[in-house]
Amino acid sequence: MNIAIVGGRVIDPAHDVDATTSLFVRDGIIAGLGEAPSGFMPERTINADGLVVCPGLIDLRARLREPGCEHKGTVETETRAALAGGITQLCCPPDTNPAIDTAVAAQWLIDRARSLGGAHIRPIGALTRGLNATHLADMHALHKAGCVGVGNGLMPIKDTAVLRHALEYAAGLGLLVFLTPEDPWLSQAGVMHEGRMATRLGLAGIPESAETIEISRALMLIEETGVRAHFCGISSARSAALVAEAKRRGAMVTADTPIHQLYVTEDDVGIFDTNYRLRPPARTAADRDALRAALATGTIDAVCSDHQPHEADAKERPFSDAEPGIAGLETLLPLTLRLVELGIVPLTTALAAVTARPAALLGIPAGTLAVGRCADICLYDPRTEWTPTPASVHTRGCNSPFFGTTMRGQVAMTLHEGRIAYERPGPR
């Protein structure tokens, strides 16, 4: 299908494009920017007047819950929710049940999303078999099956020798390793940031050192093995500083933070609000501010939804029994745009953090509107205000502290591989 998107503000952070112009899509790829390719006959012309046209978002971490926890979400529901949030590609951690530790499991996920017409899944393969933290998984096979890298999800690798071997092996294959910076000994009992609020509420805390110790341990091995590594979800100022320093030393490390981490603090837990039961935990206002600054300087390469959908019952429990996480696919874009409103980063940097930068660290040809690339495109109205509610969002997840909060910036349409994969109903 030939599609012309005319009159929109086209922003492609990867190529410093920010202009009101037209974009032409043919046979699933971007065929022209500004000027239509010769002989182009649009079958559909989209008036993008007043809209921003940017690359489809790339989400570094979204749990779809299938296989294993289909009552919380499925490939079908969550990849559709992703498209409604402007996300065309997403990385899925290996801690499903069963884990993504075989080529078949990875291939199944990719094919499933494709057959359902949802966002493109880029699985992260298991680093160890069944995430058992003792026996390496078939990383090469996983990579061949389409995994963008390997990791152990939320399962810790306590044995440093195993971790070292895993990193050595991955380094030899040139694979990107995803690491969750969480020392199991210091974090296992905790349910929120160890500090003033945890003391008040009598909740077991997760000290900042739970994160910094694991980052430090991993950095020593990363630098020793020369592996490319990515830290999933850093939450503290000290962590950001450790990553910045490692980058200065030339270590091949990148890092992300969940977008909500740039907004929430320990105080939000209030009186046991389980919507703020998070992993990593919301830390202090100073940590939040440092993370914002780290995004601006590039120490933090990307932001992600860290989508963790749950059924309502999973949160209607005493705080420490409640399951952690936010269903965040559909608030990723507006929360990213809010960073611009708050003056933390310019618009192109904000959009880069969910498009070009994750694409670069994953090494995938996406996150750009360059001619010849796959036509993954997000069109959003930067002025529309809307309020997400459990009923209004597409995810099966019922858990978000942002439900009921007014968001500015709403996806109008998402093109995935040149096809209109999502179009917001109703007149614009």
Partner 1 sequence: MAIEPDNAYHLRHFLTTEDLSGGAIGEILDTAESFISVGEREIKKVPLLRGKTIVNLFFEASTRTRTTFEIAGKRLSADIININTSVSSTQKGESLLDTVRNLEAMHTDLFVVRHPLSGAADLIARSVPKHVHVVNAGDGRHAHPTQGLLDMFTIRRYKGDFRRLTVAIVGDVLHSRVARSQIHALTALGTKEVRVVGPRSLLPAAVESLGVSAHTDMETGLAGADVVIMLRLQFERMSGALIPSAGEYFSLYGLTRERLARADKDAIVMHPGPMNRGLEIASDVADGPQSVILPQVTNGIAVRMAILARLAGASAGEGRTS
List contacts with partner 1 (CB under 8 A).
189, 194-196, 198-205, 207, 271-272, 313, 316-321
286: tokens are: 């100073």
Q: What is the β-pairing status of strands 44-47 and 3-12?
A: parallel
10 Å CB burial of residue 425 (0-12, 13-18, 19+) is exposed
Amino acid at 194: E
> With respect to partner 1, which residue has the nearer C-beta, 111 or 185?
185
Beta bridge partners of residue 229, listed in sequence order: 177, 253
Residue 170's H or E segment, with its range, is: helix 160-173
Q: Which one, 206 or 229, has the nearer CB to partner 1?
A: 206
Which C-beta is closer to partner 1: that of 40 or that of 272? Answer: 272
Catalytic residue among 256, 306, 376, 381: 306
**Among residues 152 and 236, whose Cβ is nearest to partner 1?**
236
Q: Which residues contact 385 (CB under 8 A, 6 or more apart)?
A: 406, 407, 408, 410
Instruction: Check: CB of residue 328 under 8 Å from CB of residue 306.
Output: yes
Question: Would you state the structure tokens that stand for residue 283, as one six-digit string?
Answer: 């830390």
Known catalytic residue: 306? yes
> Residue 335 to residues 150, 224, 260, 342: CA-CA distances in angstroms?
28, 37, 7, 11
Amino acid at 88: T
- Phi and psi at 178, nearest 5°, equal -95, 125
Specify which residues 380 forms β-bridges with.
52, 411
In the block, residue with structure tokens 């597409």: 394
How many beta carbons lie within 10 A of that of residue 49, not counting itself? Answer: 11
Closer of 81 and 269 to partner 1 (Cβ): 269
Report the Cα 246 to chain-centroid distance in Å: 22
Q: In this structure, what token pair is assigned to residue 174?
A: 């040139």
Smallest distance from partner 1 to CB 1, Å: 49
Residue 427, burial from CB neighbour count under 10 angstroms (0-12, 13-18, 19+): exposed
How does strand 149-151 pair with strand 120-126? parallel
Please name the residue that has the structure tokens 């202090």. Answer: 284
What CA–CA distance (Å, rounded) separates 402 from 405? 5
Q: Which is nearer to partner 1, 95 or 194 (CB)?
A: 194
Which CB sits closer to partner 1, 245 or 316? 316
Least distance to partner 1, CB of residue 269, Å: 10
What positions carry a catalytic annotation? 306
